[in-house]
Amino acid sequence: MSFVHENNEEFADLVRIVAGERGMSRSIVEKDYWVTHTLWALSVGGLEVWFKGGTSLSKGFGLIERFSEDLDLKIEPGTVAALPTVSNWKSEGTKATSERQAYFEQLSKSLVVPSCKVELDQETADKTWRGANFLVLYPGLYSNELPGMISSHVRLEVGSARVTPYVAQDLTSWVHEKLVATGTLTAFDDNRAKSVRCVHPLVTLLEKLDALHRRFRNENAFPQTFVRHYEDAAKLAEASARLPPLVGYDSVRALADEMLAQKQIVAMPAADDPAFAPAIGSRWDGIRSAHAALQEMFWGPRLSVEQASATIRTWIASNLG
């Protein structure tokens, strides 16, 4: 058998049909497929992979309806013995930095995604190599139709951020869902990603609240770099009662206390934080403009900045106060 994408003409028709049925861009449906294919390849390649961030919220848990540009990952060697050892992921010393650089440069050779080319993005490399970006270049048939905010490759942001607790989730794509619905998936190699370790959404919620707290106060932080967190955090807050159990913690407050103690967040989220109190002024004008500019990234209903902030304040008061 072969992958469904290997016949360009049939795959192009399939993407077109799915896009038409869902009222979506063909380029977005196509890229969603390649995101799934990439995660499948990583999950079966011998590496230990943890998945977090916006794409994990949409693909792993179905909690947001926004196309996230990056896949946030933590990757460890697993059975890929060729990767160098990293003794310290936080130190900025020469030895630790060199170890991390060697690790990521070798990792770029170990990331194999069939039908795609994987490159280490040297232009965005952190000077201390505490993280690195990789570009998965896929053979897009509709890439020229992608909205301006979305790139024609799958970007992997690999670092060493917190990945516990996590939940093993099966990941699929809109194309795969169509194949299942029509009973034709069995004609192809199944490249859906199974049992991917997705970081618990409450960890992500606390990280997003912390990012809003920090970046709102920083006048040099452009709103377009953090405005997405408002809706994401509100959607997570709305869904918090339906989320999988927070294994190992009595409450989300206990998780927040631990993250604060380990300096994974800088402050306990507070309902009276100015970042969650929309007002009149240039700072909020910029945030509202950046919020409107994100429209092409969404395929579902949206929350205004005011609605999202109100939801956030209520959740913090109920769960962290």
Is the predicted pLDDT of residue 294 greater than 90, yes or no? yes
Cα separation, 4 vs 275, whole angstroms: 46
In angstroms, the first-to-last Cα distance of the chain is: 56
Cα separation, 202 vs 199, whole angstroms: 8
The answer to whether 139 touches 117, Cβ cutoff 8 Å, is no
| Per-residue pLDDT tens over the stretch 84-137 | 989 999 999 999 999 999 999 999 999 999 999 999 998 888 889 999 999 999
pLDDT value, residue 110: 93
Which residues make Cβ contacts (< 8 Å) with residue 191, sequence separation at least 6?
3, 36, 37, 40, 41
Query: Structure tokens of 274?
Result: 């100015």
The answer to whether 49 touches 197, Cβ cutoff 8 Å, is yes
Q: Which of 185, 147, 151, 58 is nearest to 134 (CA)?
A: 151
pLDDT value, residue 79: 86
Query: Structure tokens of 276?
Result: 């969650």
- Farthest-apart Cα atoms in the chain, separation: 60
| Per-residue pLDDT tens over the stretch 208-253 | 999 999 999 999 999 999 999 999 999 999 999 999 999 999 999 9
Dihedral sign, Cα of residue 272, residue 277, residue 283, residue 287: positive
| Per-residue pLDDT tens over the stretch 243-279 | 999 999 999 999 999 999 999 999 999 999 999 999 9
| Per-residue pLDDT tens over the stretch 61-79 | 999 999 887 899 999 988 8
Q: Which of 39, 100, 105 is nearest to 73 (CA)?
A: 39
Amino acid at 160: S
- DSSP H helical segments within the chain, as ranges? 8-22, 26-44, 54-55, 94-110, 174-181, 201-217, 228-239, 252-261, 282-293, 305-319
Q: Which residue has the tokens 């650089």?
A: 101
Q: 174 vs 22, 71, 288, CA distance in Å?
A: 9, 17, 31
User: Which of the residue ranges 16-30, 81-95, 196-210 would you say has the lowest mean pLDDT?
Assistant: 81-95
Query: Structure tokens of 115?
Result: 């039908």
User: Band of the pLDDT at 151, cuts 50, 70, 90?
Assistant: very high
Q: Which of 107, 74, 103 is nearest to 197 (CA)?
A: 74
Work out the average pLDDT over 287-310. Answer: 96
Query: Structure tokens of 92?
Result: 């900025």
